[in-house]
């Protein structure tokens, strides 16, 4: 089976009704107790990364974690600026079991809640 899948995300600020520009996202690979950093990216004006987070040449089956640095983003929007933010760093762990699929992990964010799903 040839690897042809890839990983993307899209971050939308549901409080403002706009894409979440300038949010840092880190990707880690998990194996047992090991957590290995892969890449860090930032969302563009459309709330997406400029390139695939995990392109097909690096794509593989396994368990991964996207870490969204929402607190810094929310502070810049004037929605945070608290020593004890309600939301700060949002980790989303997910599995990839098909090396030929597009995995899309969107994040819908507001100052007091978030949701995610497997997108297309």
Output the pTM of the full model.
0.93
pLDDT tens digit string along 24-83? 999 999 999 999 999 999 999 999 999 999 999 999 999 999 999 999 999 999 876 667
Q: Residue 111: is it exposed, middle or buried by C-beta count within 10 angstroms (0-12/13-18/19+)?
A: buried
CB 68 within 8 A of CB 23: yes
pLDDT at 3 over 90: no
β pairing state of 107-110 and 102-104: unpaired
Dump pLDDT digits (tens) for 86-113.
Answer: 999 999 999 999 999 999 999 999 999 9
- Residue 62 CB neighbour total at 10 angstroms: 12
Token digits for 15?
């409080």
How is domain 6-116 classified at the CATH fold level? Immunoglobulin-like (2.60.40)
What are the extents of the domains in the chain?
6-116
């Amino acid at each position: 089976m040839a690897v042809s899948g890839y990983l993307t995300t899209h971050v939308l600020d549901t409080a403002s009704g706009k894409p979440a520009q300038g949010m840092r996202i880190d990707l880690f690979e998990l194996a047992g107790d090991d957590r290995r950093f892969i890449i860090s990216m930032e969302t563009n004006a459309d709330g997406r990364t400029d390139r695939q987070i995990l392109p097909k040449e690096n794509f593989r089956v396994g368990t991964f974690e996207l870490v969204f640095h929402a607190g810094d983003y929310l502070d810049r929007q004037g929605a945070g600026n608290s020593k004890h933010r309600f939301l700060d760093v949002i980790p989303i762990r997910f599995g990839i079991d098909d090396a030929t699929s597009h995995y899309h992990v969107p994040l819908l964010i507001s100052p007091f809640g978030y949701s995610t799903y497997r997108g297309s």
